[in-house]
């Protein structure tokens, strides 16, 4: 059994690592002092904290390559980090590893209107892409609620979505290419400005890989032209069941809104008190439905949605009459997370996805679980694609409440899988859902996924401890070959 290093040896090892990194990234590019490391102890899932050995802030691709190559040669673990807005612990540091912060990669390198794309560095914020092109009538479609802070590199790592993902897709549907640096230091370019790259879809493999396969250093995203008209509807309902049924009816009628969000009563009241968007606080559930396109199309589809909502017992209906009013309708939804932060000392933001038809059942069960655990919950979610974001309210200063919130969240995710859904919609697995992967995948599934990890990172140094409940050494997974007529690891699928 390998014994832990004594304190003196640990200190010496850290000093050695910091000196080596300073040679690769000179100036103020390496943080090693305890006070400087504090801001990097956690990410958006702030219930967990760890202090890394050091933080490296490279400015060039060559520096990223050199750092990764040195770390691989010296067996040092690396956790990539963007803005740190991850809500699944995806950027949680390791006490025996470094953090590779990509914040200095913050330039928009090219805007190519003829090809409807932009080339940006991973530290550019999501909203900044739209800000750079909106004066010319363009925008970038994925819009997570944290878009003012979250960076495009992190969006790629988590395959982020947003309130408009129902019609326009997640990051993967708006990504044309990226440049990544492997743990070996090799720089690889995947995709490009063309819509269809030749060969295997490695871009699809990297998107949503949570920093386990490589470090993104450049991203090419698709730009869309702003629609002629965008109209938002606020639809209040006396019951969650009525709102859920209206969602199903709208989709069944062939109407695909640009966005369709639902909030329950606690979330409605919190958001209205925070933003004053004009939400019907007496409603048990609120739908925000946005329709876009030509004016005539928006008018026709709005009338259809209003009729369908009335048929399901809508108690209030508001249709935006100006761009300012449309944005105010969305302001409450976009600010729902900080709004809920005003009514509880702490909260866990969960992320699971279910079939739309299961919405009423799942929300009823979440209410029952709330009583069971003695913790409040506010529900905010992308109703159109069934992506739930229950906000579990607790007080970390009260003994046992953090543990109860974690158990409550785990039960919600187990429920999502049980009704035919998945563990995550856009936040990723990270450390939050890592130990629940067995609810959705069997050992064979997980082994196949880990083989992909081994192909990119054979020494398992890049963001270890995330996603997989038990990370096998690559040698344990074996390489598929035939020896004297026998296949190694015959229980695993062959590639």
pLDDT in tens, 375-433: 999 999 898 889 999 999 999 999 999 999 999 999 999 999 999 999 998 999 999 99
pLDDT at 45 (0 to 100)? 77
Where do the structural domains in the chain lie, given as residue ranges? 7-101, 108-225, 228-342, 437-487
Please identify every stretch of the chain with a pLDDT value under 70, giving residue numbers as ranges. 1-6, 478-495
* Residues 283, 278: Cα–Cα separation, whole Å: 12
pLDDT at 195 (0 to 100)? 72
Q: Where are the beta strands (DSSP E) in 3-112?
A: 30-31, 54-56, 77-81, 97-101, 108-112
228-342 CATH fold: Alpha-Beta Plaits (3.30.70)
pLDDT at 480 (0 to 100)? 36
pLDDT at 2 (0 to 100)? 53
pLDDT at 6 (0 to 100)? 59
CB 213: neighbour CB atoms within 10 A?
A: 21
* Residues 491, 443: Cα–Cα separation, whole Å: 10
- Backbone phi and psi for residue 110, each to the nearest 5 degrees, phi listed first: -160, 140
- Rounded to 10°, the helix 240-252/295-311 angle is 140
* Residues 300, 205: Cα–Cα separation, whole Å: 40
- The CATH architecture to which 108-225 belongs is 2-Layer Sandwich (3.30)
Q: Are 347 and 393 in contact (CB under 8 A)?
A: yes
* Residues 49, 91: Cα–Cα separation, whole Å: 11
Residues with Cβ within 8 Å of 179's Cβ and at least 6 positions away in sequence, in order, are 61, 187, 188, 189, 190, 216, 217, 218, 219
Answer CATH for 7-101 from 3.40.1360.10, 3.30.43.10, 3.60.15.10, 3.30.360.10? 3.30.43.10
Q: Is 104 exposed, middle or buried (0-12, 13-18, 19+ CB in 10 A)?
A: middle
Dihedral sign of CA atoms 347, 353, 358, 359 in order: positive
pLDDT digits (tens, 9 = 90+) for 431-475: 999 999 999 999 999 999 999 999 999 999 999 999 999 877 787
Token pair 């949570």: residue:
210
* Residues 470, 172: Cα–Cα separation, whole Å: 27
* Residues 266, 344: Cα–Cα separation, whole Å: 12
């Amino acid at each position: 059994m390998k014994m832990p290093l004594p304190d003196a040896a640990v200190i010496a090892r850290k000093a050695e690592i910091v000196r080596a990194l300073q040679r690769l990234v000179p100036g103020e590019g390496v943080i090693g002092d305890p006070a400087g490391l504090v801001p990097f102890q956690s990410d958006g899932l702030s219930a967990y904290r760890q202090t890394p050995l050091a933080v490296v802030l490279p400015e060039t691709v060559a520096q990223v390559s050199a750092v990764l190559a040195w770390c691989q040669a010296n067996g040092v673990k690396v956790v990539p980090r963007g803005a740190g807005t991850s809500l699944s612990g995806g950027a949680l540091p390791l006490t025996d590893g470094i953090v590779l912060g990509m914040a200095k990669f913050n330039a928009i390198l090219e805007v190519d209107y003829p090809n409807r794309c932009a080339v940006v560095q991973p530290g550019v914020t999501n909203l900044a892409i739209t800000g750079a092109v909106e004066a010319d009538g363009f925008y970038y479609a994925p819009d997570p609620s944290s878009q003012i802070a979250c960076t495009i590199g992190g969006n790629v790592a988590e395959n982020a979505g947003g309130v408009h993902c129902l019609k326009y897709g997640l990051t993967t549907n708006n990504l044309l290419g990226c440049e990544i640096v492997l743990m070996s230091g090799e720089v690889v370019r995947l995709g490009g400005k063309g819509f269809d790259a030749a060969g295997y879809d490695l871009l699809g493999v990297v998107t949503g890989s949570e920093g386990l396969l490589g470090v993104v250093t450049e991203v090419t995203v698709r730009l869309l032209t702003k629609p002629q008209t965008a109209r938002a509807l606020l639809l209040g309902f006396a019951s969650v069941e009525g709102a859920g049924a209206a969602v199903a009816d709208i989709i069944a009628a062939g109407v695909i809104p640009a966005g369709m969000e639902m909030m329950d009563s606690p979330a409605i009241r919190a958001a209205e008190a925070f933003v004053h968007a004009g939400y019907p606080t007496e409603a048990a559930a609120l739908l925000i439905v946005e329709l876009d396109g030509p004016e005539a199309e928006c008018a026709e589809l709005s009338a259809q949605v209003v009729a369908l909502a009335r048929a399901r017992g809508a108690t209030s209906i508001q249709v935006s009459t100006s761009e300012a009013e449309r944005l105010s309708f969305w302001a409450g939804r976009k600010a729902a997370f900080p709004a809920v932060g005003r009514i509880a000392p702490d909260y866990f933001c969960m992320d699971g996805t279910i079939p739309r038809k299961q919405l009423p059942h799942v929300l009823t069960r979440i209410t029952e679980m709330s009583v069971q655990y003695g913790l409040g919950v506010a529900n905010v979610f992308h109703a159109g694609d069934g992506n739930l974001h229950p906000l579990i309210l607790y007080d970390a200063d009260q003994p046992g409440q953090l543990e109860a919130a974690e158990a409550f969240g785990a039960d919600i995710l187990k429920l999502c899988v049980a009704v035919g859904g998945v563990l995550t919609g856009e936040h990723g697995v990270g450390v939050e859902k890592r130990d629940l992967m067995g609810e959705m995948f069997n050992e064979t599934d997980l082994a196949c996924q880990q083989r992909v990890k081994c192909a990119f990172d054979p020494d398992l140094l890049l963001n270890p401890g995330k996603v997989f409940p038990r990370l096998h050494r690559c040698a344990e997974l074996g390489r598929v070959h035939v020896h004297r007529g026998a296949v190694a690891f015959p229980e695993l699928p062959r590639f």
